[in-house]
Each structure stands twice: as C-alpha cells, then as structure tokens.
Structure 1
C-alpha cells in the first residue's frame, strides 16, 4: 500500500564502445626478409623425451626385476637345507640375492637378528653355498634418485614458462603469465558510440566535449599556453551512463581507448598491480594521443591508511603507482585518464587534486525530459502502438536511471512477447513499471474481509490525494496483491520538482496516513497493512523537523546526519545533545498527529465518496485516477 515519496528525487541515461588510431607511415615497397621461424616445443616432444629417459634409467632394473624370483626368508632357508642354492650375495641392509642350482635368480630379505648371529653363516657353509658380500649402494645412483623429481619439476616449470611467454606475446616468462593483460584496446575502426547515442545530459556532454577537442586539436591549446585536463572523474549514481559517456568521448575523439576495471589491478601477488599500471601507461604513451578509462576507480583509489594492512598492502602500492604515473605526464601530454565512481567520498585526496583529476563531472539521475529521450533511444528497434506516449511513461518513472529505463522497456517487451504480440502497448509499460517498483504480481487470493479492508485503505489514500491541492495527481488504484504490497495507489507528478514547500510535504504526510485513517473510520481499528505507510511518513517527518527546519519549536536549525561508510543515514555520533533528540522526537510525533488529523477531517467530510470508491475497487479491482476525480466532483448522496 505504498505511495510515492515526494522528497525522493531519483533520476537516468543510455548508449555503447569507442576509439581509433591515426594514419600510418608509408612503408618500403620491398618487404623485409621473413625471420626464420622460432623453434617451438610441442607437448608430444616433451612426452617422448620423458619416455626415453624413463626407459634408459629404469629399463635395466625393470628387466632384472622381471627375471628374479622373490622368496620369503623361510623358503630361502628351506632351499639352503635341501642344497638348492648355489651362490648368494649378502647386502649391508639384509638383502640377499643369489642363484639357485637350476640357474634361476632369487631375492629375499633377511631379518636383522639373522645377520647378527652365526646361524645363517653356519647353514650356508654346511650346505656348500658360495657366499659373497654386495658393496654399499652407489652414491651417484642414490643422488640421481633423490634429485630426479626435482629435475622433472624444474623442467616442467621452464616449459610452461616458455609457453606462457609465447601465448602472451611479450617477454617476462612466468611473470608475464601472472601479470596478464589488464587493458583492452579498442581500435579506431570499431567504435560506434557517439554523443548522439547518449540521450539527454547536454550539460555533461558539453563538459567532456572540450576534452575531445583537446585530443583532436592539441596545437590550438598549446598556442595560447593552455594545458588540457590530465584526468576527468565522472561521478554519479549507478546506472546513469558514466561508462557510456567515456566510450562516446573516445568515439568522438577517434583515439586509442584503453578500458580497464579498477579491480583488475589488485592481485594476491604483491607488486603485480603496480607493474600493470606501469605497463598500461607505457602502452598509452607509445600510442598517444590516447584515453585510459578506469571503471570503478574506487577499487584502487580508496583513502590510504583507512583500509588494508598498511604501507605494504597491494592495493596501496597500486594506488601509489597510479598517482606517480598521473603526475608524471610531460607538458602537453597526449594521454588523458577518464574514470568513474559512485562513491567519490572514499577516494584518496591525493588522487583528486589538480594535476591528476583536474575535473569532476557530475552525472545525475535524468530529469523528466531526459527520461523521455532515453526511452526513445531504447525503443528505436521496437514497434509501439499509437497510444504509447513516452512522455507519460517518463512521468511515471521519477528517480529511474538510464539502466532502470532500459530494464523497463525490456520488461514491457517481454510482456508483449508472452502475449504473442509484436507491438508494445501502454499497458505493457504500466505492468513493467509495477513489476519493477512493487515486484511480481501475487496470484494468491485475499480473504473477503481482507479485500474489503484493502479497498478501504487504498480508497483513503486516493481520496485524500485527490482532495489535497498540492498533492501529486492520482493515476491508478489497485487492490491486486503485487510483491509484498496488498494494494497500491499510484501518483504521477505533472512536472519535475526540485523544491518542495512545507504545504506539499504536510499534504504528502496526510496522503500516507490516509489509509490508516480510513480503516479507523470504517472499522474502528487499524491493521498491520499500514506498516510501510507509517515508516515512510515517520522518515519524512523526521527530515522535515531535523533537516529542513520546518518546526516552530526547534526554529531554523538543521541537524543533518552524515551518511556512514556502511550506507546508514544514522551515524553513531549525533551533532546535538540528548535533550535536543527528545525535542526532535516530540516534534516528529506532533507533525504526524497533525497530518493524521488532516486526513481524518477530509475523510469524515467525504465519507460517502470513500464508500463509493471502496465499492468500485471491490468490483473492478483496478480503477483509473479519472474515476477518483469524478467521484470527488460528483459525490454520491448519503441516505440518512
């Protein structure tokens, strides 16, 4: 049962990629001689070499082991007793090898106690067996056996390093494999994004257009001793098209465009992020004039000393390298850094100073006219019926970003596709907007008494909104459950508001509390359905008292609470005393009671209209706003 927040001014953009290279020099008619192809190791070469080594090293031993019979020590003593053993060789570690009378070789292992007594020696001597002693294990063989696994690992390490070097196309061996390629260069022939692809934002485009002119005509600025911006930071809420603007800048300037995300610089290996920054700027300078675009720079540009593990933190080293590279441009340098973020407050001050990021361009949420232009961009390839008015759609989407509007158009297209239609209708956009704001429509049916209470509740919202002079007009009312809401009253502003008067905010509070007031008037008690209305009204009243100075008791004093790093609007340290907090709480309660009294008065005076609108909602479930105003203008006659 929520209503629109009159103080929330969310707003959007849209678009696609960019970049280019200059003409190359003329080449000689005789092509240079082709260098001989480099020797390349193949995987099967390595496997064959390993197999030959294993055969030569382990082959003789394997053949000998296959021709030798293994005997237990008891069986060996039995053969000695029956004169089947002709010769033996005793090793230092109890290994006994020898030859039987038939010529068969055998091997056995004697226990330690048998070698420390004369019993075995006496048995062999009595049986006439020729006895000899084996020398100790060959030191060289033992050394090779111990070093062989290490040598194999080193060989595999070198082989993979060479393959990585060839696959990356640059030196550095395994270091190159770890470093990788952090940036993607978009060539001049590929970009298609231009400023015309970015709907609205004329002021923002004018700000960055000077950057394009500097990259295309640097001599014009050198002639008067002007230096172009070294860095431009795009700041704005998510989804407003900051990345799209950067692509449009590169597309208009037709220069190489190095696009990289801030998170790609940070790795678990210390120093790799800094080396990636050095490589990126070195490539850009070689191909200048060029643009380096760092998406979400707050991943590496956060304040030093606040996060991380001190001076040896990888993120901090990467930031230090970025600061050095940006401040190291020569006069008239032809490399410009573009970056975007939606959290400028956490960036390091050294990154924002002139000489690094000389400009901060604000990319706000789009206003009404810009939203209509953005919708026009996203509906270019779609068929719209003649009844679709993009300005009306834009009027119903205050606070939507460009990404939100793109999602709105896509949801409308999905709805049309589900119905088997090839064109989009106004109902498709209305349904898509409700789905994005309220959630998916719930198919569960309400109980009869619940439907009646929801109808009275929503009729109260709509009636007070229609009777309030400065409230936003009512567009539609529904008692169909959608998401967590059991019903909804939609208000659409006629114009884009930037300032809100005290009367407008007080009437907005009355509209929010009108649903609960209608339940009290008709049923004599409220329900839990007004929970969201109460939360929104309390938040608005708190801002009116604490931030906007709309309290006569507190006077023209504002106590704005800074937003914490976690995103909470309530910080741990209040900028006022506990006694002031008590006074703020009393004023908030007084403002809310006054709004509730205003809603009660309007509903009591128009009780017949409330009943008629509730009955219409129970009958049709969804009612257009024009019906509400018709009931207000022609109220039904109450029967005594």
Structure 2
C-alpha cells in the first residue's frame, strides 16, 4: 500500500509509504495614513572637522617651500658685460623683450635688461668667445597668475578628494555599504499579477480570512464603525506545496494597495547589522506607501527561535529583534499589515507569534478529496482532456497529495501524452503519471530472474490477499510486479473515503497487511527474504506509535508519550536533542509490546494465507503471467476458492 494516513485529534501522521524491496506504498481607530516621520539626518563622521585645517597646512607648506631664499641678484647691464668679459657667466637666457637672466659659475642667479637702442652683436660674439650657454625665449605676462594656479591646483585636488570621501561616507550611513543595507523587497503597485482568489481552488475558509485583510485596508471605516481593529499580521502555516505563496500572489492581485514581497533569506547577510538595516528600510518603504501589505515568505529563515549564545554577535538575532520592534512599534493607524508564510511554525520565536504582531494564524492543510478535484481542474486549464478523465476518480486515488503534487501529476500526464505522440490527455496518462510520482520511473533494464519474478509475485500476492481478507483494511486497487524505482513490485490500496479517525481494529489490520508479503514468503518458501525490510520498518513504526502515543497497549495501558524522534530544533538552538521522557523500565515494556504486536500481526497473516493457499498460488501465477492485475481480480480468485470449498466469499471491497 503506497499510502498510510494516521491522524488523532491532537496528533496527526500522514506518511507516504514506499516499499523499496517489493512493495511501495491587534487598538487605535483606523483612519487616513499620517505623514511618515522623516528619518534623522546622518551624523557627520568624526574625521570631517579635520579636513579644512589639514588642507590649510598643506598649502602653507607649499608656500613656505617656494618662498625659501635663493642666491639671486640683479645688476646693471654694464656690470653684466664686465662679468661676461671676466668669464664668470655660465648660462644666459635672452627673451624677445631684452630681458636677460642666467647663472654665474658660482651658482648665483642673476637678471638684467639690455637697453633698447643698444646693438647686441658684440655681446653675442663675446658670449660665444667665453663659451657661455645661450638660450632664447619669449616673454610672457601673467606669471603671477600661473604661479597662483600652480599653488592652488594641489589644494583644489585635496579639497575635491575629501568632499568625495565625505559624500560616500554619508551614503554608507544611510544605505549601508554600497547599498547593501537597502531592502530587497519586490514592490507590486501598478502592474499586479494576474492571480486572483478564484484561481486558488478550495480553501474557502483560508481565502475568507486572508481576504479580510484586503477589505480592511480598502475600507477601514467599516471596521471603525463597529469598533473593530484590523489585524497587524497574519501568518500562514502548513505543509510544503499547499499553496501559501499562491495565496499571497492572489492577495497581491486582489489588493488595491502597494504589496511589498520579500523572502526571509533576503535579510540574512554576512555583514553584521545589514539584516536589521534591511528590516528598517522595508518598513520605512511600507510607511511611505501606506496603506500597504508586507509579505515575508519563508519567515522561519529570519524568525527562528533565539537561543542562549555565550559571546559573539548573532546577526540573525539582531535581525529578528529589529523585526519584532518594527512590528510592535508602528502605529496601527498607519495601515500596514504583515503577511507571512512558513511550513515550520514550531521553529518560530514565540515573541513573533504573540497577538500584537501576528494576530491571526491561518492553517493551510493538505487538500481533501473535493479540493483535490478542484485543484486538478485548475491545473488542467488550457489542456485537452479525453472523455474518460474524471477528476473525482483521480482525486480519490491521490490522498495526501499537496497542490504542488497535483500540479506535477497533471504535468507528468501531459508529458506522457506527448511521449505517445498525442495532444489529448486520457485517464491512462493520469494513472501512469500517478504511478511515476508514487513509485518512480519504470526500470525496464532492471530485469528479474525467473525465480525472483515468482518470489516478488508471491510477496505481492500475500499483501493483496491479506488486505482483501481483513475487515478494516482499505480495498486493493492494483497489484504489480513491474519494477519502479527502488521497488520491485507494489500493492496499491485506496481508502473508500477520507479518514480522520483510525480505530485499533484498522491499525491492527494495517499491521497484518504490512506483514502479508513476508507471511506469504514463509508459507510458500519456508523462509523470509530481504524484500520485507521496508515492510518490517513500517510495521515497527506503526506499532511504536500504537504503544507509546495512542495508548493501545494492554500492558502499558492508556498512557501517551510524545514522539521519541529527536526534535530537529534542538542542536540548532545550542541545546541538546530531546530524548525520551520515561525510564529504562518503561522503554523495555514499550519494546516488548512493539515486538508482540508485530509478531501477532505476522501470525495472523500466516494463518489467513494458509487457509487460502490455493488463492495465493493462483494469484501469484496470474501476476507472473500478466505482471499487473486490478483489485477485482484478487476478489475473483478468492471467490473461486471459496466456491470450491463451499465457504462464504469475502465481501466485494475493491475500488471501482
């Protein structure tokens, strides 16, 4: 049987069973939004007041360096001629205005001017005779301006450098390092998604609770007249794939207010303080756009329980603390509602779930049979279906499937139709897709030996016959020995209706069916095999819960203990994993009762198969020949045996 559904009033268990060997189975009156408070101006860096004194010091140093006295003099032209004749002139530079400058051989710089009416030819000859280096240049006005520019350029460069540094520092203070502190929320305001509430099949109660948020933001005066206060936050919890994010997209499509969508992991960063900065920025943006809705998907990534940590700085806890402050700190009349989704509600911090933050908790469970049929019809839009497709039949054959599973089922059926060069999806495509989702791909290369095929047929026949002979067991739908994934064969059982309460008789029959394959091997071959490994593990788990949780042990009595599986949040919060809450003596009793229940189930299965040995052999031969048979064939085999023996045939309890 590929499905096992165990649910009590406060404890529920829904597991998809696969048999790898051979069997698979919050108080202010709402009103118009107020002007959001302006954020405080960023504080100037402590080093900024030192910029101007530092720049002034640099300019003074440059001026002092240039004003250092040098060995330079000015003398008349006649004296210059005399020095040339004396041979003490080393270099001369003559410009086009008659200005002369140069250096003496002792390194002294000089300057003079040649009279305008004087012939300079003798001077030129004399300079050449004394081997003086002569250069000619053009005179230029504005030397003072050029010198001033040369002095001011370094200062201007330094001032611009410090101005740019101060601007970048201000940006860092307001938006984090390179904008890393800005929120990464996707803002949906003008162009909204096409998803509406009618696109979400089923979940009428969930949609009603969520739609009240949209109505409160649209028409707050309705609630103000009655004195009602709108919720501050709504959190959707449920198993993965049940459509929590799809409902959020429908809210974004239906709401006429800005919708800010962000994932919980977007707040997590390696830099300390960045997550808290992003939370502040997100709520600041929501206030500026109020009324608005903030949607945080997978909020457990940032809202997990805070633990005791010695030393260090936990960035995640800082982010959570900021989120708690923002959700409890904003004014209720601001028109901001926080919508969140998670499939791990037990991982969230209790402070986040209290009224005043998340006032409303909405559970999005796995869909029931009617909801599954509606979800399948939604996912089949745009596809061509054959006349034999009945969504109610498919919904009955898919207990425990989530919305995502059903979408995958329809897609796999479409792929199977394309593989057969068809554009129309028929019932066989859906059945094949269901088998693939439950059991895996058919392994054509995993050929069994003849004796293995017979052993698998005997094993699956044992499951099917025990299920047909037990009063409370679910009817048999199909038996196959075709390998699929890790399973070498499968016996599928489908419940006649959605079950919400399971009796001791049903669980006892479930144990017998689980051990029917091993019992058939013992009856036919006299020994068991490894093909019953998954059957034994599943039966032991069921017996464990019957004894320790459901109080169905005659020896231990009506006592229920919590699940003995270690809680996955233990070591995550720096704590030890949760252990058992009872003594070693009680543990020994539990172990003995588990062994007793499993052994009794095996004996019962063996006794049933021994009384119907002929039916067991016949069904095994049919499986070897046909590989797959329906549940009706199992009943036919039992009826023929009972006719031969003159006993009452079992009631017809197979699926149509």
TM value normalised by structure 1: 0.73
Q: Could you tell me how far 1:206 is from its partner in structure 2? A: 1.8
Q: Which residue of 1 aligns with 2:226?
A: 224
Q: Which residue of 1 aligns with 2:107?
A: none
Q: Could you tell me how far 1:226 is from its partner in structure 2? A: 1.9
Q: Could you tell me how far 1:296 is from its partner in structure 2? A: 0.8
Q: Which residue of 2 aligns with 1:179?
A: 181
Q: 1:614 aligns with which of 620, 639, 643?
A: 620
Q: Which residue of 1 aligns with 2:261?
A: 259
- Asked if 1:573 corresponds to 2:574, the answer is no
Q: Which residue of 1 aligns with 2:343?
A: 342
Q: 1:505 aligns with which of 503, 507, 514?
A: 507
Cα gap change, 1:173 to 1:400, in 2 (>3 Å) = closer
SS of 2:398's partner is coil
Contact 2:238 2:363 in 1 (8 A): yes
Contact 1:284 1:292 in 2 (8 A): yes
SS of 1:357's partner is coil
- Offset from partner CA, 1:95-125 (integer Å, 9 cap, x none): xxxxxxxxxxxxxxxxxxxxxxxxxxxxxxx
Please give the alpha-carbon distance, in whole angstroms, between the structure 2 residues aligned to 1:618 and 1:158: 83
Cα gap change, 1:571 to 1:433, in 2 (>3 Å) = farther
Structure 1, unmatched stretches of 5+, are: 12-147
The 5-angstrom pairing of residues 245-284 of structure 1 reads 245-284=247-286
Q: Which residue of 1 aligns with 2:449?
A: 447
Cα gap change, 1:601 to 1:291, in 2 (>3 Å) = same
Q: Which residue of 1 aligns with 2:4?
A: 5
Please give the alpha-carbon distance, in whole angstroms, between the structure 2 residues aligned to 1:263 and 1:206: 29
Q: 1:582 aligns with which of 585, 588, 602?
A: 588
Please give the alpha-carbon distance, in whole angstroms, between the structure 2 residues aligned to 1:156 and 1:464: 86
Q: Could you tell me how far 1:600 is from its partner in structure 2? A: 1.2
Aligned-residue Cα RMSD (Å) equals: 2.9
The 5-angstrom pairing of residues 371-386 of structure 1 reads 371-386=372-387
SS of 2:4's partner is coil
Please give the alpha-carbon distance, in whole angstroms, between the structure 2 residues aligned to 1:317 and 1:202: 38
- Offset from partner CA, 1:68-107 (integer Å, 9 cap, x none): xxxxxxxxxxxxxxxxxxxxxxxxxxxxxxxxxxxxxxxx
Cα gap change, 1:155 to 1:624, in 2 (>3 Å) = farther
Give aligned pairs, total.
493
- Offset from partner CA, 1:363-387 (integer Å, 9 cap, x none): 1111111111111111111111111
Q: Which residue of 2 aligns with 1:623?
A: 629
Q: Could you tell me how far 1:180 is from its partner in structure 2? A: 4.5
Q: Could you tell me how far 1:633 is from its partner in structure 2? A: 2.1
SS of 1:410's partner is helix
The 5-angstrom pairing of residues 247-396 of structure 1 reads 247-306=249-308, 312-396=313-397
Contact 1:229 1:359 in 2 (8 A): yes
Please give the alpha-carbon distance, in whole angstroms, between the structure 1 residues aligned to 2:382 and 2:161: 58
SS of 2:332's partner is coil
Contact 2:567 2:578 in 1 (8 A): no
Contact 1:262 1:294 in 2 (8 A): yes
Please give the alpha-carbon distance, in whole angstroms, between the structure 2 residues aligned to 1:493 and 1:156: 77
Q: Could you tell me how far 1:412 is from its partner in structure 2? A: 1.2
Q: Which residue of 2 aligns with 1:597?
A: 603
Q: Which residue of 1 aligns with 2:539?
A: 537
The 5-angstrom pairing of residues 69-88 of structure 1 reads none
Contact 1:561 1:571 in 2 (8 A): no
SS of 2:235's partner is strand
Cα gap change, 1:156 to 1:521, in 2 (>3 Å) = farther
Q: Could you tell me how far 1:283 is from its partner in structure 2? A: 1.2
Q: 2:639 aligns with which of 630, 633, 640?
A: 633
Please give the alpha-carbon distance, in whole angstroms, between the structure 2 residues aligned to 1:577 and 1:363: 38
Q: Could you tell me how far 1:563 is from its partner in structure 2? A: 4.9
SS of 1:239's partner is coil
| Greater Cα shift, 501-510 or 418-427 | 418-427
SS of 2:333's partner is coil
- Offset from partner CA, 1:531-555 (integer Å, 9 cap, x none): 0001001100111111111111111
Q: Could you tell me how far 1:225 is from its partner in structure 2? A: 2.5
SS of 1:5's partner is strand
SS of 2:257's partner is coil
Contact 1:235 1:342 in 2 (8 A): yes
- Offset from partner CA, 1:503-555 (integer Å, 9 cap, x none): 11111111110101011111111111000001001100111111111111111
Cα gap change, 1:205 to 1:353, in 2 (>3 Å) = same
SS of 2:290's partner is coil
Please give the alpha-carbon distance, in whole angstroms, between the structure 2 residues aligned to 1:156 and 1:619: 89
Q: Which residue of 1 aligns with 2:80?
A: none
Cα gap change, 1:325 to 1:567, in 2 (>3 Å) = closer
- Offset from partner CA, 1:159-203 (integer Å, 9 cap, x none): 9x98x98xxxx9957734323541101124422221111111112
Structure 2, unmatched stretches of 5+, are: 7-12, 17-153, 571-575, 646-656
The 5-angstrom pairing of residues 15-26 of structure 1 reads none
Please give the alpha-carbon distance, in whole angstroms, between the structure 1 residues aligned to 2:616 and 2:524: 9
Contact 1:10 1:401 in 2 (8 A): no
Contact 1:562 1:571 in 2 (8 A): no
SS of 1:267's partner is coil
SS of 2:296's partner is strand
Please give the alpha-carbon distance, in whole angstroms, between the structure 2 residues aligned to 1:449 and 1:635: 25
Q: Which residue of 2 aligns with 1:15?
A: none
Please give the alpha-carbon distance, in whole angstroms, between the structure 2 residues aligned to 1:417 and 1:326: 51
Q: Which residue of 2 aligns with 1:473?
A: 475
Cα gap change, 1:277 to 1:550, in 2 (>3 Å) = same
Q: Could you tell me how far 1:267 is from its partner in structure 2? A: 1.1
